[in-house]
Structure 1
Amino acid sequence: MADVLRLGKRPLMWSCRPAAGPAWNARHRRVVRFWIDGDGVDEEMLDSLRRREPAVSEPSLEEWRAQLRDERVIADRHLRTVLDSYHEPAWRREHKGYGRYPEDHLWFAAQGLREIDDALGD
């Protein structure tokens, strides 16, 4: 979706998060949500921005760390899957397109785990 929308070429920081989980991540603890899965644009958030009173979502330090610990397990599992599949021709074909290559998937998996580890270490 991000590639189709060309978000990487937009002058903003963006992040895709699972709909079932919180919006914050290892890099960003104070976040603003603009899009709601299934509902589209979060009109309440846009109204709050117009009033210059954005409804920033921020977890407690313990909530944030607990979420990062859960996500670390998932990130580690994903990195291992990428490493185990990296040299398989079928996997490489499936993970190529929209200007992305298998090397990018390996980089993002490793970098994501590193960011979580760095955040948990601070």
Structure 2
Amino acid sequence: MTIDGTQEAPRDCALDGQLPFDVFARNCPSRDTLGHVTGRWGSLTLGALREDTLRFNELRRRVEGVSEKMLSQTLHALERDGLVHREAQPTNPPRVDYRLTPLGQDITKRLMGLIDLVEARMPDVLAARKSYDGGR
């Protein structure tokens, strides 16, 4: 529904690769990938992998607070989207390494710009929170 009350036409998305992708379209697969990249565990996992190949437990230690189940689900989603490569080593016990793909490196580079900006501006955020909370 639009502001004037008329029905809004549904937006199409490039499910067949012919139309441009539109993350604002409800059924566009780009929306899922954006969620995987920008969700709490996805962004932290990508950020943790930006400099090195890590094993599962190394990742879990680096991304404090993530459960084994959530990290596993996150890694599966990122691997499915082509952002993370999983390599199982034929050792005893089995060893599994995770690293960013070239696509994952490209996306993570841009994501780290946002993370760096958030960290740099935290004094402003904390001041805004204090002002907001004091005014209630």
Alignment TM-score, normalising by the size of structure 2 = 0.32
Alignment TM-score, normalising by the size of structure 1 = 0.35
Higher relative contact order, chain-length normalized (CA < 8 Å, sep 6+): 1
Q: Which has the larger radius of gyration?
A: 2
More strand by share: 2
